[in-house]
Structure 1
Amino acid sequence: MISAREVADELIIAERERKKLTAFTDAHPDFDVAEGYAAQRLFVQSKVDAGEQIIGAKLGLTSRAKQVAMGVSDPLYGMVTNRMVAPAALPVDLAALIHPRVEPEIAFLLARDVTAPASITSVLAATEAVFAAVDVLDSRYNDYRFALADVVADNCSAGRFLLGPTARTPDELVDLRLLGCVLRVNGEVVDTAAGAAVMGHPAASVAWLANRLGECGEVLRGGWLVFSGGLTAPIPLQPGRTVTAEFDGLGTVSAFA
């Protein structure tokens, strides 16, 4: 069986050199999700050792459709560092990424720790602000082809994150389950969604993460940004393409290159 250290080392090189990898589970089918999280911790620690700071977390596979497609019943999670948050007003630096894809999300800025057992209610009570966001995914695997353990090790395809300019408390918005999003590519509507696309309520995925971390003796920390999961299918980001997410009550955020 390939070790978590070996997996992490290959991912570190792949990200630095913009090199696509073959999924580890192809040659090592016994590489499992638990080992994937062990590799993820080492992958993220390499960023911390290089001077980055962990400022939040991201959820993946939060829609039921995606879970069914991947044969799982729970989301996955990765860590977000300060270097991953990019200015929304500037082009995404494609030269620093491999093959980015964009998906709209609802992001939560936590005012205080969220401890287990967590619920939608406790997450909303701990939330300082909600933002429109864009998750710029960037898998280190060729053609985004991977098994669950692979994508977990790859920090859930974390690339860059863009935040919209408008901050709202949950009380200032409609029910987050009903908060609508329109996704456009170069001005043309390509998809629509509502907050309920994420586990029935976007705060439910944040609560799931708090409970999952609690099982590991960790805490979802106040001050963190939590990206609750994609509302639509991801869109490839290419030169000359602008992907815009328009959110009810939260404004607009665009990714362009």
Structure 2
Amino acid sequence: MHGDQIRSSVDRLEIHIAARTAFQLYRIDDRPITLDEAYSMQAEILARALRSGSDSIAGYKVGLTTAKMQAFCGVKEPIAGRILKSGVRASGATLRKSDFHRLGIESELALRVGKPVPALTASNDVADLIGCIDAIAAAFEVIDDRDADYSHLEASSIAAENSWNRGAVLGEAMSPADFGDLCNLQGRLLVNGEPVATGSSSDVMSGPLSVLAWVAQFARANDEELRPGQWILTGSIIPTKFAVVGETYSFELGSLPPVTVEIA
């Protein structure tokens, strides 16, 4: 996909978003776009969002990191997106459903980068990466899938639209010191105080630190580096909950403070 094609595709996307057109798969000459082409589109979307200088990249999301979510979306590989600072909210936030085409809430573990993440080599492994994290939190990823048809999805088409990310709601941050390798944190999603689904932090890839290693590699491949203070959303351990006006969602993960969001 050439630069003009990328800009033209993003122009069309902006028109579709304004018109609330449903999500469509991306094609070039009747073939699916590649992930490389998708990330070129994502880069153009972000360049436009950052052009005014009033926003910045607050971190990364990694999506489709669990077997549950891959089955839910009918795809087989993880994808990345960037989180804009303007979309980051604290626990207790209220989201207006009317601000989205179809608002989804995903229950996740968030990691805050404390120092540069090294590339994995024969002399280190995933467990060594815990020292690169200075805080963790229960979190919701805010997504907008634009009323996608989940029976016909491709990872590349989702990635092209910044992997559907529209921000994050972060619970109170805690030191990772007492949480070991961050695996086996049991999660529970509640709607209006009633539990509706469960999952474990171990469900994402080979654990949250594997997600950190993956996104660090992704950033390097795109001439970027994870920076201290950035947040990494490690993937939904519970299938997406589509928002309903008047409902309050709470996500409990291990002994972390829960994260809540209300839908207006």
Give the TM-score normalised by the residue count of structure 2. Answer: 0.87
Q: Which residue of 2 aligns with 1:187?
A: 193
Taking the TM superposition and a 5 Å limit, the aligned residue runs for 1:233-244 are 233-244=239-250
Taking the TM superposition and a 5 Å limit, the aligned residue runs for 1:29-68 are 29-50=31-52, 51-67=54-70
Deviation at 1:131, TM superposition (A): 0.7
- Is the counterpart of residue 156 in structure 1 residue 163 in structure 2? yes
Gaps in structure 1 of 5+ consecutive residues: none
Q: Which residue of 2 aligns with 1:146?
A: 153
CA distance in 2, matches of 1:30, 1:146: 11
- Asked if the contact 1:115/1:219 (under 8 Å) is kept, the reply is no
Residue by residue, what CA displacement relative to the aligned partner does 1:148-181 show, whole Å, maximum 9, x if unpaired?
A: 221010101101310002x222212254211111
- Asked if the contact 1:115/1:214 (under 8 Å) is kept, the reply is no
Q: Which residue of 2 aligns with 1:5?
A: 7
The residue type equivalent to 1:56 in the other structure is G
For the residue of structure 2 that corresponds to 1:6, the secondary structure is helix
Residue by residue, what CA displacement relative to the aligned partner does 1:111-157 show, whole Å, maximum 9, x if unpaired?
A: 11213237423431111100110012112354455322210101011
The residue type equivalent to 2:37 in the other structure is E
Among candidates 205, 211, 229, match of residue 235 of structure 2: 229
- Asked if the contact 1:56/1:79 (under 8 Å) is kept, the reply is yes
Range that drifts further, 26-35 or 239-248: 26-35
Q: Compared with structure 1, are the counterparts of its residues 32 and 56 closer, same or farther at alpha carbon in structure 2 (3 Å cutoff)? A: same
CA distance in 2, matches of 1:150, 1:28: 13
Residue by residue, what CA displacement relative to the aligned partner does 1:208-247 show, whole Å, maximum 9, x if unpaired?
A: 1112222333322222111111111011111012221012
Residue identity over aligned pairs, in percent, reads 25
Range that drifts further, 245-254 or 82-91: 82-91
| Bigger proportion of residues as strand | 2
Range that drifts further, 60-69 or 218-227: 60-69
Among candidates 203, 206, 214, match of residue 208 of structure 1: 214
CA distance in 1, matches of 2:183, 2:240: 20
CA distance in 2, matches of 1:140, 1:8: 15
Q: Which residue of 2 aligns with 1:113?
A: 116
Among candidates 81, 85, 88, match of residue 84 of structure 2: 81
- Asked if the contact 1:23/1:141 (under 8 Å) is kept, the reply is no
Q: Compared with structure 1, are the counterparts of its residues 26 and 102 closer, same or farther at alpha carbon in structure 2 (3 Å cutoff)? A: farther
Deviation at 1:206, TM superposition (A): 1.1
CA distance in 2, matches of 1:66, 1:104: 11
- Asked if the contact 1:111/1:223 (under 8 Å) is kept, the reply is yes
Give the TM-score normalised by the residue count of structure 1. Answer: 0.89
- Is the counterpart of residue 172 in structure 1 residue 175 in structure 2? no
Among candidates 213, 223, 226, match of residue 220 of structure 1: 226
**Please, what is the CA RMSD of the aligned residues?**
2.3
The residue type equivalent to 2:200 in the other structure is A
Count of paired positions? 255
CA distance in 1, matches of 2:23, 2:201: 33
The residue type equivalent to 1:138 in the other structure is D
Q: Which residue of 2 aligns with 1:249?
A: 255
CA distance in 2, matches of 1:125, 1:61: 25
Deviation at 1:96, TM superposition (A): 1.8
CA distance in 2, matches of 1:105, 1:39: 26
CA distance in 2, matches of 1:36, 1:141: 19
Q: Compared with structure 1, are the counterparts of its residues 217 and 53 closer, same or farther at alpha carbon in structure 2 (3 Å cutoff)? A: closer
Q: Compared with structure 1, are the counterparts of its residues 54 and 121 closer, same or farther at alpha carbon in structure 2 (3 Å cutoff)? A: same
